[in-house]
Every structure is written in C-alpha cells, then in structure tokens.
Amino acid sequence: MNRADIKQRLQQLAQDKGFIAVGCATARRLDEQDNTLRSWLEKGYQGSMGYMERNLDKRLDPRLLVPGAKTVIVFLYNYFPAEQQLPDVPKIARYAWGEDYHRVVKDHIYDIVKELETHTGKINGRVFVDSAPVMERQWAALAGLGWLGKNSLLLRKGVGSYFFIGTIVCDLELEPDQPTTHHCGECTACIDACPTQAIVADGVVDAGRCISYITIESKAPMPDEIRSNNEGWAFGCDICQEVCPWNKFSQPHAETRFEPQQAFHTWDMNEWEQMDENMFNAVFGKTPLTRAGWQKLKNSLGTD
C-alpha cells in the first residue's frame, strides 16, 4: 500500500473503532512551544506536578521517545455521557464516570495498529494516552483536529471538547494534515465562569488555582479559599467545558466501557459521605477516581 492508501485505511479503522476523528502531523521538535512551556513552568503554574519539568526535551520532541519517528498520529475519542449526575451530590468530572480511559482508548488504538500492520508490516512506534511526556493537545492542533481554546483545552468545531486524545508516534511516513483556524473569537465564557480564576490568560491555566488539579493531583489539603468557591466539585471540574458554546454540539458517546457506575445515579450525599475505603475500591476501582484515591476524595468532600 502507498502512503495515501495507508492513511485512508487508518481513517476507516478509526471510524470503525468509534473515534471522532484522526489526523497526522510530521514528527519534529515543537520549537514554537519551547518558550511558552518554559515560561509556564518558570511561573510555577504546574503546582506540585514536578514531572512536568522532567524530560522537557522529550516533551518537545517525540522523536526522542521513538527514534526514527516520522509521524504523530492523533485520535479523538468521545466520552460525553447521556446522563446527568443527581443534584446535591459531590460533582465528579464526566471523564471519570466509566472505566479508566487510559485502558479503553489504548485498547482501541492497539487494535488499529495491529490491523494496519497487516498492510504495512511491523510499525516501529508507541501508543500514548495521557501517559507520557507528549504534548497531545498541541499535536492534535497541528494534525488539524481542532484549536486550543482559552481554557487551554482542544476544541473541535461542531463537536466541542468532551473527548480523550490518544497518539501513535511511529515510523510510518504519512501525509500531514493542515492545522485549522481558531473559532473562540471574543468569547470569554470559560474565563468568566471559572470560580477560582484559574485561567490567568488566553490558553494559560494556573494549576494551583484549578479545581481539577487541586481535587486530583495536589497532595496538599484543599485550601479554604478554593473549598469555598469550588461549587461542589469533588473530583475534577467541568465548568469551563459546560459554559463553552461549542459544547452545545456534544453528542452522547457509544462506548459501553464508559457507562457510569450505578452510584452516580443512585447515591445520595449521605452514601457518598459514609463510603469507606473498601466500598470505594469495590465501586470505583476501575475508574479514574483511583488517581486521587479514597482519602483524597474524602478530603474533597470535607469529610476527612
């Protein structure tokens, strides 16, 4: 198969596996991101996420992760749920309702790689889903899958932002797609809605003020200032997505492994507060909530 045929087959496989879209970008060093990333780090906006400072060269150049890489293939996978959480219970970010996305999305991408290899022979590459120093949103933008919004998330016209990003960094030489234009315009809905003022500039988020970071990544107790303004979020936060006009186009996902645990539909506040570690592991053991863990969730609930 020639390059055009391989790419066409890639696109068909991605569609068959339920991906929203797939795009390609030439593997290279992201020189245009160098100063932006270093400035963000120098200002301490990474909070306690020390891993953001490590492997900086690899973060900027995927060819250091996969020697001989020629293409970064980027996939978008929908996670927007059809259901809503019950009112007056701890709010959990939508991406965490079902099975851990790292496993789900990787499984689908590995299936695509196996099928592609029947046409191309062995592919030298690695699959990443939010699990390595890869600037996934930037690569998705370069691959023409959307643009970086003012909340720093990738936005796709007619779709929104409720999707996961997965990548293959590999030695396949495929025709790159062209970046799209930005479509945020003068809208500042995400900036205006953030209750902790974490979006400090267009596309710049101070993790130390971000509810998502504080309820998941931070090892410190939730600051009183944040607790009084977090609007009930106990794990993650969807506020900047909920107010984004582009997310009015969000459609429910069709991934059975993302179906939410029954607790999201049935538990009242008392059941959340009475949950012990064994119950947490039994109910949420396969979900992203394990990233924070039972004790962190209890702290976010204010029942520590």
Residues classed as catalytic:
130
Burial of 304 (0-12, 13-18, 19+ CB in 10 A): exposed
Phi, psi of 204 (to 5 degrees): -120, 120
Q: Which residues contact 112 (CB under 8 A, 6 or more apart)?
A: 10, 13, 14, 17
Phi, psi of 209 (to 5 degrees): -110, -5
Helices assigned H by DSSP within 61-210? 101-120, 136-142, 189-193
User: How far is residue 170's CA from residue 172's CA, in Å, rounded to a whole number?
Assistant: 6
Give the angle 288-289-292 at the CA atoms, nearest 5°.
110
Contact (CB, 8 A) for 99 and 271: no
Closest to 220 (Cα-Cα) out of 237, 207, 202, 238: 207
Q: Which residues pair with 125 in a beta bridge?
A: 170
Q: Which residues contact 182 (CB under 8 A, 6 or more apart)?
A: 147, 148
Q: Tokens in use for 99?
A: 């099975």
Closest to 293 (Cα-Cα) out of 277, 304, 279: 277
Burial of 9 (0-12, 13-18, 19+ CB in 10 A): middle
Phi, psi of 156 (to 5 degrees): -125, 130
User: How far is residue 236's CA from residue 213's CA, in Å, rounded to a whole number?
Assistant: 7
